[in-house]
Amino acid sequence: MKNPVLLQTRRAILVGAGSALAAVSLAGCAEAAARPVPMAVRRNPGCGCCEVWTEQMRASGRFIVTTEDDPNLAAFKTARGVPADLASCHTAIVGDYVVEGHVPLADIVRLLEERPQIAGIAVGGMPMGSPGMEQPGGGNEAYDVVAFTSGGGRSVFSHYPAR
């Protein structure tokens, strides 16, 4: 017959060790999630709205943002598979993804959390009311954040109605 006290002690040790391991794992996940991610932004030289968008990304604390003025930005976009009709004034590389134009922070965070099998997301043009294009007094346009693949596929990632 086995000693019940010894079995309870062994069980308590195993439960305690498992709980400690889980706590350490979760702490590591939280730390990784809080660690800023590199974001390399290329923009049209002298573009002011790009600077506003970039500052919003930097201020979020989620990204380590570097910027580069690029007089050959169109070639950079083409090389990264950005559809011409979704082009904007700046292009960011975040991990393995392209972020084109005035994409809201929440969509970039979602992209990095969900990790879909796409090349990137884009807000084509420069819609009023999108991040970096805010205007005092309103006048915000409706716009979509479009997910695109290297094979030409597209879908709406998020929709922002006019306000």
> What is the rounded CA–CA span in Å between residue 136 and residue 130?
13
The three-class DSSP label of residue 89 is coil
Contact 95, 112 (CB under 8 A): yes
**pLDDT band per the 50, 70, 90 thresholds, residue 57:** very high
Give SS3 for 158: strand
Same domain (yes/no): 69, 24: no
CA 51 to chain centroid, in Å, comes to 17
88 and 110 together in one domain: yes
What pLDDT does 31 receive?
A: 43
Instruction: Give the range of the structural domain holding residue 21, as residue numbers without chain letter.
Output: 1-35
62 & 142 share domain: yes
pLDDT tens profile 6-41 = 445 554 444 444 444 444 344 444 444 579 999 999
> Same domain, yes or no, for 21 and 45?
no
Which residues are registered as beta bridge partners of 54?
none
Please, which pLDDT band fits residue 1 given cuts at 50, 70 and 90? Answer: low
Neighbours of 79 (CB within 10 A): 9
For residues 61 and 19, membership in a common domain is answered with no
Instruction: Please state the pTM of the whole predicted model.
Output: 0.79
**Domain check: are 101 and 137 in the same one?**
yes
110-163 pLDDT, tens per residue? Answer: 999 999 999 999 999 999 999 999 988 877 999 999 999 999 999 999 999 998
Strands laid side by side in the 120-123 sheet: 63-69, 37-43, 90-94, 97-101, 120-123, 143-148, 154-160
